[in-house]
Amino acid sequence: MHPSKTTVLLAEGASAMRQALASQLQTFGFGQVLQARDGTRALQMLRAEPVHVVICDLDMQGMDGLTMLEAMRADPKLAGLPFILMSGGLDRDSAARAIRLGIGDLLVKPFTVRRLIERMQRVLQRDAQALVSALAPPPLEPVPEPSASEPERATILVVDDTPDNLQLVAGLFRDRFKVKIAHNGEKALSICQSDAPPDLILLDVMMPGMDGFEVARRLREHHASECTPIIFVTAMTDEASRHQGLSLGAIDYVFKPIEPELLRLRVSNLMYYVEHRKQLQKDFDQMHENSRLQAEVERLRAEVKGLRGG
């Protein structure tokens, strides 16, 4: 089956997020990406036309992702359909429940479309061998794993239209982190929505063209940056601006002129949050793999018992 004949159902409550992700999947080569705003509508679409894989957000109004998965597993026509769950706030109990229901994969937000496609390839190869050739072109280059002796450093993006400010703030963190810089909002969005997005963003507000508030709004509408921590670093000290920044999902709001050591401490504290999210993905992957191996062991035992005549 050619990629253009592979049908994906994308269930995501946020309209802008859903449309951005659907567009990227189509760019990759999937000709048909159906979209649903909630679990109820998604189930209606699944029962109306053939779908090869479901990508679903956990947190949707009305019927959420796990309730939708339960309904699918109770329907003989949908019970075996590969299902990938996305979430920015999945806990271990919910992850365990999803695994018991036969989840295909779990993705902790934020994630890149590259990682999503890699997970889709793996799920479809495991659950539907007939679709392997459909996802083979174009091949993805393997991402090198960091060596144990050289752990991968987290990445900070500094966004400011003033070169001196860029160098000052970037210089505070180059000894501990990878640091990327952007002198305008358009460049910042390009970096954040690439295959190598930053782990944390230090964002100026007052910039020509697209200001920091607009950058933040657009970041929150994209799966690769929806949950990325943002610290506004700005000379705007009025309460209304601070409230606007925090309402756009910023984690912190730092006034210029900056206090270098205080900013270092705030960034260090937020990096614990970043590492926690990365560890969650590793933990969920391990839980899922353990469950899959256990199921395989039980299947083999049943086969051996059958061969022995009970």
Mean pLDDT, rounded, of the chain: 86
What is the pLDDT averaged over residues 29-54? Answer: 92
What is the pLDDT averaged over residues 23-45? Answer: 91
pLDDT band for position 309 (cuts 50, 70, 90) = low
Does this model's pTM top 0.85?
A: no
Whether residue 257 is preceded by a cis peptide bond, meaning omega within 30 degrees of 0, is yes
pLDDT band for position 149 (cuts 50, 70, 90) = very low
Q: Is the pLDDT of residue 101 over 50?
A: yes
- The rounded distance, in Å, linking the Cα atoms of 198 and 38 is 30
pLDDT 10s digits, 156-211: 999 999 999 999 999 999 999 999 999 999 999 999 999 899 999 999 999 999 99
What is the pLDDT averaged over residues 32-36? Answer: 94
pLDDT band for position 137 (cuts 50, 70, 90) = very low
CA atoms within 13 A of residue 291's CA, in its CB half-sphere: 17
Displacement of CA 71 from its chain's centroid (Å): 24
pLDDT of residue 112: 87
